[in-house]
Protein backbone atom coordinates (compact mmCIF):
# COMPACT_ATOMS: atom_id res chain seq x y z
CA UNK A 1 0.00 0.00 0.00
CA UNK A 2 1.33 3.45 -0.95
CA UNK A 3 2.40 5.79 1.79
CA UNK A 4 0.60 9.11 2.07
CA UNK A 5 2.15 12.08 0.35
CA UNK A 6 4.28 14.27 2.62
CA UNK A 7 3.96 18.01 2.11
CA UNK A 8 7.10 19.83 3.25
CA UNK A 9 7.37 23.60 3.56
CA UNK A 10 10.00 25.60 1.68
CA UNK A 11 11.72 26.39 5.00
CA UNK A 12 11.90 22.66 5.83
CA UNK A 13 13.29 21.95 2.36
CA UNK A 14 15.93 24.69 2.69
CA UNK A 15 17.16 23.25 5.98
CA UNK A 16 17.25 19.73 4.53
CA UNK A 17 19.21 20.97 1.51
CA UNK A 18 21.67 22.80 3.75
CA UNK A 19 22.07 19.60 5.81
CA UNK A 20 22.45 17.51 2.62
CA UNK A 21 19.59 15.34 3.90
CA UNK A 22 17.70 15.31 0.58
CA UNK A 23 18.03 15.13 -3.16
CA UNK A 24 15.68 17.82 -4.46
CA UNK A 25 14.25 16.89 -7.87
CA UNK A 26 12.70 19.65 -9.99
CA UNK A 27 10.04 18.08 -12.24
CA UNK A 28 9.29 21.30 -14.13
CA UNK A 29 10.29 21.47 -17.79
CA UNK A 30 13.91 22.33 -18.56
CA UNK A 31 13.12 25.86 -19.76
CA UNK A 32 11.37 26.56 -16.46
CA UNK A 33 14.31 25.14 -14.51
CA UNK A 34 16.79 27.20 -16.54
CA UNK A 35 14.78 30.40 -16.01
CA UNK A 36 14.67 30.13 -12.20
CA UNK A 37 15.82 27.30 -9.98
CA UNK A 38 16.69 26.31 -6.46
CA UNK A 39 20.42 25.88 -5.95
CA UNK A 40 21.19 22.17 -5.76
CA UNK A 41 17.96 20.96 -7.38
CA UNK A 42 18.31 18.24 -10.02
CA UNK A 43 16.25 18.78 -13.18
CA UNK A 44 14.14 15.77 -14.21
CA UNK A 45 11.10 17.02 -16.21
CA UNK A 46 7.86 15.16 -15.61
CA UNK A 47 7.38 14.87 -19.39
CA UNK A 48 10.41 12.52 -19.47
CA UNK A 49 10.08 11.20 -15.92
CA UNK A 50 11.15 7.63 -15.17
CA UNK A 51 11.26 6.81 -11.46
CA UNK A 52 13.84 4.08 -12.05
CA UNK A 53 16.30 6.65 -13.45
CA UNK A 54 16.24 8.93 -10.40
CA UNK A 55 19.50 9.60 -8.58
CA UNK A 56 19.97 7.12 -5.77
CA UNK A 57 19.93 8.78 -2.36
CA UNK A 58 22.84 8.19 0.00
CA UNK A 59 22.14 6.45 3.28
CA UNK A 60 20.02 8.76 5.42
CA UNK A 61 18.95 10.90 2.45
CA UNK A 62 15.46 11.26 1.00
CA UNK A 63 14.22 12.22 -2.46
CA UNK A 64 11.92 15.24 -2.48
CA UNK A 65 10.16 16.67 -5.54
CA UNK A 66 9.16 20.18 -6.47
CA UNK A 67 7.52 21.91 -9.39
CA UNK A 68 5.87 25.30 -9.90
CA UNK A 69 2.90 24.84 -7.58
CA UNK A 70 2.67 21.22 -6.43
CA UNK A 71 0.60 19.45 -9.09
CA UNK A 72 3.43 17.90 -11.13
CA UNK A 73 5.44 16.93 -8.07
CA UNK A 74 2.39 15.07 -6.72
CA UNK A 75 2.22 13.21 -10.06
CA UNK A 76 5.92 12.30 -9.73
CA UNK A 77 5.20 10.85 -6.28
CA UNK A 78 2.35 8.77 -7.72
CA UNK A 79 4.63 7.43 -10.47
CA UNK A 80 7.29 6.53 -7.90
CA UNK A 81 4.76 4.70 -5.76
CA UNK A 82 3.46 2.80 -8.81
CA UNK A 83 7.07 1.76 -9.50
CA UNK A 84 7.41 0.51 -5.92
CA UNK A 85 9.67 3.36 -4.75
CA UNK A 86 9.07 5.01 -1.41
CA UNK A 87 9.63 8.58 -2.59
CA UNK A 88 6.57 10.37 -1.33
CA UNK A 89 7.61 13.88 -0.27
CA UNK A 90 7.27 17.14 -2.13
CA UNK A 91 7.44 20.84 -1.46
CA UNK A 92 3.99 22.25 -0.80
CA UNK A 93 3.30 25.18 -3.12
CA UNK A 94 6.33 24.50 -5.30
CA UNK A 95 8.86 27.10 -6.31
CA UNK A 96 6.19 29.79 -6.03
CA UNK A 97 5.98 29.14 -2.27
CA UNK A 98 9.79 29.04 -2.12
CA UNK A 99 10.00 32.52 -3.64
CA UNK A 100 7.16 33.81 -1.42
CA UNK A 101 9.15 32.62 1.60
CA UNK A 102 12.00 34.85 0.43
CA UNK A 103 14.36 31.95 -0.18
CA UNK A 104 17.12 32.26 -2.80
CA UNK A 105 16.89 31.17 -6.43
CA UNK A 106 19.32 31.21 -9.31
Neighbours of 10 (CB within 10 A): 22
Q: What is the pTM of this model?
A: 0.94
Residue 72 in any domain: the answer is yes
Q: What is the pLDDT of residue 2?
A: 59
CATH at 29: 3.40.250.10
Please enumerate in sequence order all residues whose Cβ is within 8 A of that of 11, keeping only pairs 6 or more positions apart, or say none.
101, 103
Q: In the beta sheet, which residues pair with residue 43?
A: 26
Q: What is the pLDDT of residues 64-80, one digit of tens each?
A: 999 999 999 999 999 99
76: domain range? 6-100
> pLDDT tens across 9-41, in order?
999 999 999 999 999 999 999 999 999 999 999
CA angle 1, 82, 37 (to 5 degrees): 115
- Is residue 4 scored above 90 in pLDDT? no
pLDDT at 77 (0 to 100): 94
Residue 73 covered by a domain: yes
Amino acid sequence: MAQPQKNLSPVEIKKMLDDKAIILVDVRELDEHNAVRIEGAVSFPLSRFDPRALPKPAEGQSVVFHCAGGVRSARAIAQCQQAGLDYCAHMAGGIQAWKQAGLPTR
